[in-house]
C-alpha cells in the first residue's frame, strides 16, 4: 500500500495530498490517513482527480452520511452531489465568508468539492481556520464568548427575493424554510474528535448572539466576522480542472471569489453531515 504524500501549505491550515486515486475505492489505511490529515490541516487539496458524481459521493460517504441540499440543483442520478453552475444558478451567496449549512441542527462535518469547468482566470476559493482565529483571541474575549449561543438563519444566504421568483422556486423555498427554521449553536464550538476549540459564527448564516442586546450582538459579530477572516488565518486555492478540495466544515469558513464574470464556473459538491455542535 502506497503512503500518501502530504505537503502543508500554511501554518494556519491547508495541505496538498498526492498518492491516492479518489475515483477508486479507498483502502482503510488511506481512509484513516486522510481523516487524520483533515483533523490536522482542516482543508485538503488533491490535484488531477477526474471523478464521476457516483465516485465523488462514494468518497464523501467514507466520512459520514450525505446531505441533499434544499435549494441548489443536484445531479439527477446522484442527488447527494449538488451543482454550482454560474450559468444556471445565482451563487453569489458563496461569495461571502460562510460555513456550509449551519442552519441545520447537525451542520456538515465536511464537504468534497470538485472543479468541473473553470474560467480562464479568477474563481479562487479561500478557507479560514476557526481554530487559529479562536486561539488568537485574548483571554478576556474568550471568557466573554464562552457559553454564548448564536442564531443561524437559512434565509440570510437564501433570501426570498432571490430564490422565490417563480411559482416552482417559491414552493421550493417555502418548503426549505419550513424544514429549516432559525436555530441556535454555540459561538465557540469544541471539535468532537480533536477537542480543539473554534469560532463557530459566519456571515453567511449567523444573524445574532442570543444572550446580548441587539446593539451588543451587532458589534461583537462584526468584530468576530472580521477577526475570523484575517489573512494569517486563511489559505487561497487557485483551482485547476479536476482538483478536489475536502474540508472540515466544523472548524472552517470559506469564500468563493466572484471575480470571473461573465465567464462560467461549474463545481460539484458532496456534503457530509456532522453532529450537534457543543462547547465544553
Catalytic, 269? Answer yes
The DSSP code sequence of 103-148 is TSSS-EEEEEEEEEE--SS---EEEEEHHHHHHTS-HHHHHHHTT-
Closest CA to 51 of 72, 32, 75, 34: 75
List, in order, residues 6 or more apart from 47 with CB less than 8 Å away.
16, 18, 240, 242, 243
Q: Of 100, 153, 243, 248, which residue is the catalytic one?
A: 100
Catalytic, 227? Answer no
State how far the Cα of 13 lies from the Cα of 67, in Å rounded to an integer.
Answer: 25
Catalytic, 254? Answer yes
Neighbours of 265 (CB within 10 A): 22
State how far the Cα of 266 lies from the Cα of 83, in Å rounded to an integer.
Answer: 7
Q: Of 189, 191, 254, 265, which residue is the catalytic one?
A: 254
- Give the N- to C-terminal CA distance of the chain in Å, as an integer: 39
Q: Of 67, 98, 185, 250, which residue is the catalytic one?
A: 98
Q: Using alpha carbons only, how large is the chain's radius of gyration in Å?
A: 18
List, in order, residues 6 or more apart from 198 with CB less than 8 Å away.
129, 130, 131, 133, 134, 188, 189, 190, 191, 250, 251
Give the active site residues: 98, 100, 254, 269
Amino acid at each position: 500500500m502506497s503512503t500518501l504524500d502530504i505537503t502543508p501549505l500554511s501554518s494556519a491550515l491547508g495541505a496538498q495530498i498526492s498518492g491516492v486515486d479518489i475515483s477508486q475505492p479507498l483502502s482503510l489505511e488511506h481512509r484513516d490517513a486522510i481523516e487524520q490529515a483533515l483533523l490536522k490541516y482542516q482543508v485538503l487539496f488533491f490535484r488531477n482527480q477526474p471523478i464521476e458524481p457516483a465516485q465523488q459521493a462514494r468518497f464523501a460517504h467514507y466520512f459520514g452520511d450525505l446531505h441533499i441540499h434544499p435549494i441548489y440543483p443536484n445531479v439527477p442520478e446522484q442527488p447527494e452531489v449538488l451543482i454550482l453552475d454560474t450559468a444556471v444558478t445565482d451563487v453569489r451567496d458563496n461569495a461571502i465568508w460562510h460555513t456550509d449549512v449551519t442552519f441545520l441542527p447537525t451542520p456538515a462535518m465536511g464537504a468534497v468539492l470538485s472543479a468541473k469547468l473553470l474560467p480562464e482566470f479568477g474563481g479562487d476559493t479561500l478557507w479560514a481556520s476557526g481554530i487559529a482565529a479562536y486561539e488568537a483571541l485574548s483571554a478576556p474575549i474568550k471568557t466573554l464568548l464562552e457559553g454564548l449561543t448564536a442564531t443561524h438563519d437559512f434565509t440570510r444566504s437564501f433570501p426570498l427575493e432571490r430564490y422565490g421568483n417563480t411559482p416552482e422556486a417559491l414552493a421550493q423555498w417555502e418548503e426549505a424554510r419550513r424544514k429549516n427554521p432559525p436555530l441556535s449553536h454555540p459561538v465557540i464550538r469544541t471539535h468532537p474528535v480533536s477537542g480543539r476549540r473554534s469560532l463557530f459564527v459566519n456571515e453567511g448564516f449567523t444573524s445574532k448572539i442570543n444572550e446580548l442586546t441587539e446593539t451588543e450582538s451587532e458589534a461583537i459579530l462584526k468584530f468576530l466576522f472580521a477577526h475570523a477572516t484575517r489573512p494569517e488565518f486563511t489559505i487561497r486555492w487557485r483551482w485547476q480542472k479536476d482538483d478536489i478540495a475536502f474540508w472540515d466544515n466544523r472548524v472552517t469558513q470559506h469564500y468563493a471569489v466572484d471575480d470571473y464574470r461573465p465567464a462560467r464556473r461549474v463545481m460539484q459538491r458532496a456534503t457530509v453531515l456532522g453532529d450537534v455542535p457543543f462547547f465544553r
